[in-house]
Chains A and B, each alone.
Chain A
Amino acid sequence: TQLLEQSPQFLSIQEGENLTVYCNSSSVFSSLQWYRQEPGEGPVLLVTVVTGGEVKKLKRLTFQFGDARKDSSLHITAAQPGDTGLYLCAGSNDYKLSFGAGTTVTVRA
């Protein structure tokens, strides 16, 4: 079983602050996905990173894939209440995903 460790498990910040979520593994993945899930809804794909060292930006969100393709981070700049949700990282090899336990982010207005 390939395990992904996400940290922190919970994060509560004030609107306008920055935050970073980490996703680490001892296994190498061919790609890694980040999802955001709101209460009562399914996970929504935010980004896929494929190349070691890759950095992708999606508005205020910055995603980085580690050089060895074992770890990743998600950084949110100037967080807004709409960023509140459960953030899941998932490593992909073949066509199955290994999920991290998730980070619950709460952004207070």
Chain B
Amino acid sequence: DAMVIQNPRYQVTQFGKPVTLSCSQTLNHNVMYWYQQKSSQAPKLLFHYYDKDFNNEADTPDNFQSRRPNTSFCFLDIRSPGLGDAAMYLCATSRPAGGPGEQFFGPGTRLTVL
């Protein structure tokens, strides 16, 4: 089945220690998104890639970076995690030209910062 995969599902890091979260997709969608979600709140968009073009949201901290080496993979790098960065991180994909802009989400990575 075509899907969005996130690894790891759970990540524990120390305050200030860099961490990388990964996302892969078999849907062949050209847009990939990273969201941050805190408890029982709506997902908050951090940035997205439209093909190779990176688009940062205005209020995304510089601490968050992303890489997309190819169509299938996208990474979220947190350079110096703070306690406030503990959250669920969601990856999503879409193919705007093929439909009404639906996004398909991965299962998420739960990040704990000690």
A residues with CB within 8 A of B: 30-31, 33, 35, 40-45, 48, 50, 86, 88, 90, 92-97, 99-102, 104
Contacts and interface: CB of A to CB of B under 8 A. Distances in A.
Interface of B: 4, 6, 31, 40-43, 45, 48, 50, 88, 90, 92, 94, 96, 99-108, 110
B110 A40 contact: yes
Contacts of B92: 42
B90 A48 contact: no
For the complex of A and B, list the 9 residue pairs with the smallest distance between their C-beta atoms, beginning with the closest. Answer: A31-B100, A92-B101, A42-B105, A99-B42, A95-B96, A42-B108, A42-B107, A43-B105, A50-B100
12 contacts: A31-B101, A42-B4, A42-B6, A42-B92, A43-B43, A45-B104, A93-B101, A94-B101, A99-B42, A99-B43, A102-B41, A104-B40
A40 B40 contact: no
B90 to A, nearest CB: 5
Q: Among the interface residues B6, B50, B92, B103, which one has the most CB atoms of the partner chain A within 10 A?
A: B103
Contacts, number: 63
Contact of B106 (A42, A96, A104): A42
A37 to B, nearest CB: 8
B107 A95 contact: no
Contacts of A35: 105
B107 A41 contact: yes
Contact of A88 (B42, B94, B106): B42
Contacts of B31: 95
A46 B92 CA distance: 15
A44 B43 contact: no
Contacts of A93: 101
